[in-house]
Structure 1
Amino acid sequence: MDFDRYLASELADHRAVAEATLDAVGDTFAVLAKTAVGTIRSGGKILLFGNGGSAADAQHIATELVIRYIGDRPPIAAIALTTDTSALTAGGNDLGFDRIFARQIEALARPGDLAIGFSTSGRSANVLAGLAEARVKGLATAGLTGRDGGALVDVADVVIRVPAAAANRIQEMHIVIGHALCGALEQALGLVEQ
C-alpha cells in the first residue's frame, strides 16, 4: 500500500467536502453563531449531545467553551449531556435509550438556553427526542447533521447540514464548524482580541 498516496487522497476528499460545506452552510452558520451569542449574553447556556463520535464532538466543543479555545478568557456556559455515565446508563435502563438526552434537558435546561444535537444521519432517535424536548421547554435548537438531514430538519430551528454521505467527513466538518462557533463566540462576546 502507498501510504503517502492514501493520505493525499484523504486530504483531497476532506478539502472537497470542506469547500462544499462552506458553500452550503455559510449563512446558516451565521444564524447559529448569532443564536449562541444571544444565548450567552442573556445568561443562558449551551447544551450539546450526540452518539458515538458525535458524543465526542459534543464533549470536545463543550470543553472548548468552558475552558478556552484560542486564549485565556472567562468561561462560556456549556454542558455536554454525554459525560454523566450514571445518568446515561440509568436513563437507558429505566426510561429507554431514546430518552437519555430528553430527560437531562428536562432536568437541566431553562428557557433561553440553546440545545445543539449532533447526528451525522439526522436520524438518531435520542438526539431527535432531546431536541424535541428542548423545543417544548422553550429553548432555541440547532442540529449538526449530514446527508439529507433526516428527521433532524423537523426538530431543529437551525440546521447545519454537511453535504456529504460519509460519516467520517461529516464529523470532520462538525468539528471545524464547532471550532468556528467557539472562535466566533469568543470574539463576538469580546472575550479575546480580534
Structure 2
Amino acid sequence: MQDPIKTLFTECIQTQIAAADMLHEPIEAACGLLVDSLLQGRRVYCCGEGLAHATSRHFAHIMLTGLSFERPPFPVTSLHADYGALDYDRMFAQQIQAVGQANDLLVVFNASARAPRVSRAMEAALGRNMLIIAITQSSDEDIAGLLGPDDVEIRIPTYNTARASEHLLQIANMLCSVAEHQIFPQETE
C-alpha cells in the first residue's frame, strides 16, 4: 500500500506535467487579453464559484498591490460574495449588470463541475459585451458553452477538485506576473 501523502504529491506532479504540456497557449492568450484590457484602461472583474472565490479575491489583491515588485495598482475588482443576498444565485450577475461596460473583462475561476453563480455572471457579462477569461477544469459543465470567439478558456487537465484548486491559484499568480512584466518591462532588467 502506497503512502497517502506520497500519492497526493504524485497526483500534483502528474497534473503539473499535463498542465505544462496543454496550457501554454491558452495562458498566453489569457495574458494577452488581460494586458490589452489593462493598457486600454478597461476594468477587470473577477469571481469564483464556491471555494474558488478565494482565488478570485487573491487575484484581485495581487493585481492591486503587486506580486513581483512595487507598481501602480491595476483596476481589478473581485465581485462581492454576499451569501445573505436575496437572490444568491444571481449575486455576481447583479454586480456585473450594475457596473460592467462593453469590453471590460470578467475573469472567472471554477474548480468543480458546476458553477451556477459564475455562469450567471458570464451571461450578464455577455449581455454587456464584455470579454471573459474562464479558468476551469475537465469536468466543467456550465462555463465552456458560454464562451465566445474572443474569450479564452484555460481548462486545467484534471477532474480532481483539489488539484484544480491548486492550479487556479498558480494560474492567477502567472497571469499577474506576466501582466506586470509586460506592462513594466523595465522592472525585469
Normalised by the length of structure 2, the TM-score is 0.90
Percent identity reads 22
Render the CA deviation track for 1:28-58: whole Å, top value 9, x for unaligned: 1111000000100010121110133201000
SS at match of 2:49: coil
Q: Distance in 2 between matches of 1:122 and 1:6?
A: 25
Q: 1:17 aligns with which of 15, 18, 25?
A: 15
Q: 2:106 aligns with which of 89, 112, 115?
A: 115
Render the CA deviation track for 1:50-106: whole Å, top value 9, x for unaligned: 1332010000011000011111111111001135x4xx52xx31xx22211110001
**Structure 1 unmatched runs, 5+:** none
Q: 1:174 aligns with which of 137, 143, 168?
A: 168
1:162 Cα deviation from its structure 2 partner: 0.7
Check the 8 A contact 1:37/1:185 in 2, yes or no: yes
Q: Answer with 39-48 or 5-14: which moved more.
A: 5-14
**Structure 2 unmatched runs, 5+:** none
Check the 8 A contact 1:50/1:82 in 2, yes or no: no
Matched, 1:138 2:129: yes
1:151 Cα deviation from its structure 2 partner: 2.5
Provide the aligned C-alpha RMSD in A: 1.7
Question: Map of 1:1-194 to 2, 5 A cutoff?
Answer: 5-82=3-80, 85=82, 88-89=83-84, 92-93=85-86, 96-156=87-147, 157-190=151-184, 193-194=187-188
Letter in 2 for 1:133: A
Check the 8 A contact 2:116/2:142 in 1, yes or no: no
**Which is helix-richer, 1 or 2?**
1
SS at match of 2:23: helix
Letter in 2 for 1:8: K
Question: Alpha carbons of 1:7 and 1:193: their partners in 2 closer, same or farther (altered >3 Å)?
Answer: farther
Check the 8 A contact 1:59/1:82 in 2, yes or no: no
SS at match of 2:77: strand
Letter in 2 for 1:115: L
Letter in 2 for 1:107: A
SS at match of 2:142: helix
Q: Distance in 1 between matches of 2:138 and 2:10?
A: 19
Q: Distance in 1 between matches of 2:4 and 2:69?
A: 35
Q: Answer with 37-46 or 111-120: which moved more.
A: 111-120
Letter in 2 for 1:46: V
